[in-house]
Amino acid sequence: MDRERMVKEFCRLVSIDSPSFSEREMADYLIGVFAENQIMLEEDEAGSYFGGNSGNLYGYWKGTLEGDPILFSMHMDTVEPAKGKKAVVHEDGKITSDGTTVLGADDLAAIAEVIEAVRSITEQKSAHRDVEFLISIAEEQHLRGSQVFDFSSLKAKESYVLDKTGQIGSAAVVAPSLATFEAVVRGKAAHAGFAPEEGVNAVLIASKAVTRIPLGHVGTEMTVNIGSIQSDFATNIVPSACTVKGEVRSFSHEAVLRQLKDIQNIFEEEAAMLGGIVEYQEDLLFQAYVTPENAEVVRRYEDVCKSLGIEPVLERTFGGSDQNHLSANGVRGMVLASAMQQAHSSSEFTTVSDMEKVTKIVMGLMESEI
């Protein structure tokens, strides 16, 4: 592989603004880069579902080795602040932003690594298996891009998603379900000074409900959070509406569904006792998965890591990735550490040595005969 070329490619990718739902320039650039390597990327209509300007990208790279194809998945969007990014390469090999934006190693390091793997294999004329690529939009917005991808178009039944922080060699094989909920409490307005007894205080109903909901870690497998409580009325008015928003995560999908039902019941009970009503809705964003540690997709990864002198470490993560949607659609896989640290902050960084390691892992997986 060519380290300097890989770093140059990464810096180029960082310089392209690609916040969620505004990935057009990035998509066009990637279509061109992959085409230079004889891989045609097709674009779907995912952007139109959410008012974005780009769709997910999919490509197929025909190989010479026997065996089923494997899929590599990355995402092209970055979190804010994402405009005007610039990669600063330090003498010790650390790469940071200039401190005013995120770097975008999440997930642009992964894309640069995959591009370098393809270029290196092509130049060396190395034998490789059939490979599929999925580069999604809006992953940072609760996996919206892959949520609407047509998974029936995939041939691969195994996937490697490059989208994880942590030491190189670590990989997630278990991830949770995540659902959000919104409870709009309706009461009755009244003058707070002259006739408060004529009103039904929606904030009071909401607060009583919230105090009954277990928050934080609920057991060892679940977290529950209230992220927003909003009611905008003057202080002399008994508030007639209050909106509460939160989320539930668990490694057990069934536990998430039960918890959501319990939360709905709590709001409805408190509203009924004080004369209000509740409009309740929930949104299941993605579903939990478990990839068995003895699965071929895992054993292949472990073999490649060990051949490179990298210790494979299998983990559970409480975050979601496009692998959640892949698993839900019959594609078994894992999420690989992709050389990003302190993601989602202006302190985000990567290193040349870590990116080189990941590129070699990707090449090893593409060239694997098992």
In this structure, the answer to whether residues 21 and 98 fall within a common structural domain is yes
What mean pLDDT do residues 191-203 have?
A: 97
Residue 370 has pLDDT above 90, yes or no: no
- Amino acid 148 reads V
In this structure, the answer to whether residues 140 and 184 fall within a common structural domain is no
What mean pLDDT do residues 11-27 have?
A: 98
Residue 31: CB partners within 8 Å, gap ≥ 6? Answer: 41, 43, 57
Helix ranges (DSSP H) in the chain: 3-14, 24-36, 46-50, 105-124, 144-147, 202-212, 253-274, 296-307, 322-328, 352-367
Helix ranges (DSSP H) in 96-166: 105-124, 144-147
Residue of 44, 113, 139, 282 marked catalytic: 139
In this structure, the answer to whether residues 36 and 54 fall within a common structural domain is yes
In this structure, the answer to whether residues 276 and 345 fall within a common structural domain is no
In this structure, the answer to whether residues 49 and 104 fall within a common structural domain is yes
From 286, 313, 332, the end of a domain falls on: 286
Is 150 labeled as catalytic in the residue annotation?
A: no
pLDDT digit string, tens, across residues 311-366: 999 999 999 999 999 999 999 999 999 999 999 999 999 999 999 999 999 999 99
**How far apart (Å, rounded) are the C-alpha atoms in residues 277 and 265?**
12
Residue of 77, 116, 130, 158 marked catalytic: 77
In this structure, the answer to whether residues 224 and 250 fall within a common structural domain is yes
What mean pLDDT do residues 236-247 have?
A: 98
pLDDT digit string, tens, across residues 23-58: 999 999 999 999 999 999 999 999 999 999 999 999
What mean pLDDT do residues 305-309 have?
A: 98
In this structure, the answer to whether residues 230 and 271 fall within a common structural domain is yes
Report the domain count for the chain.
2
**How far apart (Å, rounded) are the C-alpha atoms in residues 71 and 134?**
7
In this structure, the answer to whether residues 216 and 120 fall within a common structural domain is no
From 271, 286, 301, the end of a domain falls on: 286
From 253, 286, 319, the end of a domain falls on: 286
Instruction: State whether residue 239 is helix, strand or coil.
Output: coil
In this structure, the answer to whether residues 322 and 274 fall within a common structural domain is no
CATH code of the domain covering residue 267: 3.30.70.360
pTM exceeds 0.85, yes or no: yes
**How far apart (Å, rounded) are the C-alpha atoms in residues 77 and 52?**
11
Is 80 labeled as catalytic in the residue annotation?
A: no
**How far apart (Å, rounded) are the C-alpha atoms in residues 231 and 192?**
15
In this structure, the answer to whether residues 76 and 201 fall within a common structural domain is no
What secondary structure letter does DSSP report for 152? Answer: G
Q: Which residues span the domain enclosing 252?
A: 177-286
In this structure, the answer to whether residues 281 and 293 fall within a common structural domain is no
Rounded to 5°, the CA angle 7-10-16 comes to: 145
CATH code of the domain covering residue 148: 3.40.630.10
pLDDT band at 228; cut points 50, 70, 90: very high
pLDDT digit string, tens, across residues 56-92: 999 999 999 998 999 999 999 999 999 999 999 999 9
In this structure, the answer to whether residues 252 and 299 fall within a common structural domain is no
Rounded to 10 deg, the angle between the 296-307 and 352-367 helix axes is 130
Percent of the chain with pLDDT over 90: 98
